[in-house]
């Protein structure tokens, strides 16, 4: 049994579905020029599969209120009249264009769409917009295009929302590796996360690297890390090390990576490939809020930003005694790295779902997270629901 399937078995048992593993086969890489970061962004803007604006989310300074937005029990059911009647099977990643949510429904191998405004209407609530995926692990969007990390197939796919056409942008289905090249000549391992600045895609690869993909040409490059070499070193480009990097987001100048096994949040300057640790203590798993150098995470996984703060999904379901389980949404101030828990906390039951305010709310292994500039939306994987925080 190879490394991925060993870890995937653990995922099925624990509910951990991203940032947890992948094959580690590697091939020679080719060095390409680093991407040019976007500057002078007009906010609010669609960036990193979310919306950023000049002022932070309202919940950044007030008590966050959590409610269940879509989904009920495990399974697969579209429902065009009631969001809560729809069924998901480990929704794992989520993105938005400000009007609709798009969800990677991991175990159903489909991409779903949910309306976020007005009354539910046919084809705009928990509808299936694309099939033919194999463990879609991450999703992002720009304009009218979705980009999906089709992790089980080792490829990145594009969905044109105008024509509904699905195409492969990079990688070859069924062939894993770590090869920088153009389009289908490139190789990926299990892909854990994906984000975009509108010109490039940025991908966290389970071989402990961060890759870039030119949206126009499909050219793939390695921005940071070295294939197959796990670690926690800060540094520039190939000198940096990650340990199962999970999801990532961008503000157009930097990437922010949830470094799953290192229990840290990393920052990458896109123009230089320089990697630093923004928050968390490498290898120390915990739930401590506070300054960047003393705060701890268990397994940071999903991540999004409003331009001022990062919002991170964090969970642990095995290490606490008695037993107790930790699933929470953490807020990280980009300027300082200060960490605060805004929703969720410890539970003595698993799974657990409670709609409430702040740390009285409960999640079960939340993974994907995005924002429309007003609220957060969370793919609560272990509960098979989509939660809204406002």
The full DSSP string for 128-171 is: EEE---SSEEEEEEETTEEEEEEGGGTEEEEEETTT--EEEEES
- Give the helix/strand (H/E) hosting 234: none
Cis ω before 281 (30° cut-off from 0)? no
Structure tokens that stand for 36 in this block: 């040019």
pLDDT at residue number 21: 34
| Stated length of the chain | 390
Instruction: Please report where in the chains the tokens 């995922």 appear, as a residue.
Output: 11
Q: Is 10 left (phi over 0), alpha (psi -120 to 50) or beta?
A: alpha
Compute the distance between CA of residue 234 and CA of residue 251 in angstroms, rounded to an integer.
Answer: 20
Compute the distance between CA of residue 50 and CA of residue 61 in angstroms, rounded to an integer.
Answer: 19
Which domains does the chain carry? 25-389 (2.120.10.30)
Q: How many CB atoms lie within 10 A of CB 340?
A: 14
pLDDT tens for the chain, residues 1 to 390: 333 333 333 343 333 333 333 333 334 444 446 776 654 444 457 899 998 888 889 887 788 999 999 988 776 666 555 677 888 999 999 999 988 999 999 999 999 998 876 544 443 455 677 778 999 999 999 989 999 999 999 999 999 999 989 999 999 999 999 999 999 999 999 999 999 999 999 999 999 999 999 999 999 999 999 999 999 999 999 999 999 999 999 999 999 999 999 999 999 999 999 999 999 999 999 999 999 999 999 999 999 999 999 999 999 977 777 788 999 999 999 999 999 999 999 998 889 999 999 999 999 999 999 999 999 999 999 999 999 999
| Residue 321: Cβ-neighbour burial (10 angstroms; 0-12, 13-18, 19+) | exposed
């Amino acid at each position: 049994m190879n490394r991925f399937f060993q870890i995937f078995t653990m995922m099925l048992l624990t509910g951990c579905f991203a940032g947890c593993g992948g094959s580690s086969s590697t091939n020679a890489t080719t060095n390409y020029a680093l991407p040019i970061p976007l500057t002078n962004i007009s906010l609010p803007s669609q960036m990193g599969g979310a919306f950023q604006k000049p002022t932070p989310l309202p919940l950044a300074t007030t008590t966050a209120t959590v409610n269940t937005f879509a989904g009920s029990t495990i399974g697969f059911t579209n429902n065009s009249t009631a969001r809560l009647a729809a069924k998901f099977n480990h929704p794992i990643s989520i993105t938005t264009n400000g009007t609709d949510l798009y969800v990677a429904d991991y175990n159903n191998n489909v991409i779903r769409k949910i309306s976020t405004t007005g009354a539910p209407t046919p084809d705009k609530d928990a509808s299936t917009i694309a099939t033919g995926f194999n463990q879609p692990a991450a999703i992002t969007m720009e304009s009218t295009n979705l980009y999906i990390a089709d992790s089980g197939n080792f490829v990145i796919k594009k969905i044109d929302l105008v024509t509904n056409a699905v195409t492969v942008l990079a990688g070859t289905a069924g062939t894993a590796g770590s090869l920088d090249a153009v389009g289908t000549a490139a190789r990926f391992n299990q892909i854990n996360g994906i984000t975009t600045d509108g010109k490039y895609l940025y991908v966290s690869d389970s071989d402990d690297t961060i890759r870039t993909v030119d949206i126009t040409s499909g050219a793939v490059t390695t921005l940071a890390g070295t294939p197959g070499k796990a670690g926690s070193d800060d540094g520039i480009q190939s000198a940096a090390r990650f340990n199962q990097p999970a999801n990532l987001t961008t503000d157009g100048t930097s990437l922010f990576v949830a470094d799953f096994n290192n229990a840290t949040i990393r920052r990458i300057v896109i123009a230089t490939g320089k990697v630093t640790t923004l928050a968390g203590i490498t290898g120390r798993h915990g739930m401590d809020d506070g300054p960047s150098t003393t705060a701890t995470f268990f397994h940071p996984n999903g991540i999004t930003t409003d331009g001022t703060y990062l919002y991170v999904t964090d969970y642990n379901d095995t290490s606490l005694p008695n037993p107790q389980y930790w699933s929470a949404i953490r807020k990280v101030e980009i300027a300082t790295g200060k960490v605060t828990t805004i929703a969720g906390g410890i539970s003595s039951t698993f799974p657990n779902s409670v709609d409430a305010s702040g740390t009285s709310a409960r999640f079960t292994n939340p993974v994907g997270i995005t924002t429309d500039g007003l609220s957060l939306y969370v793919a609560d994987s272990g509960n098979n629901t989509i939660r809204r925080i406002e």
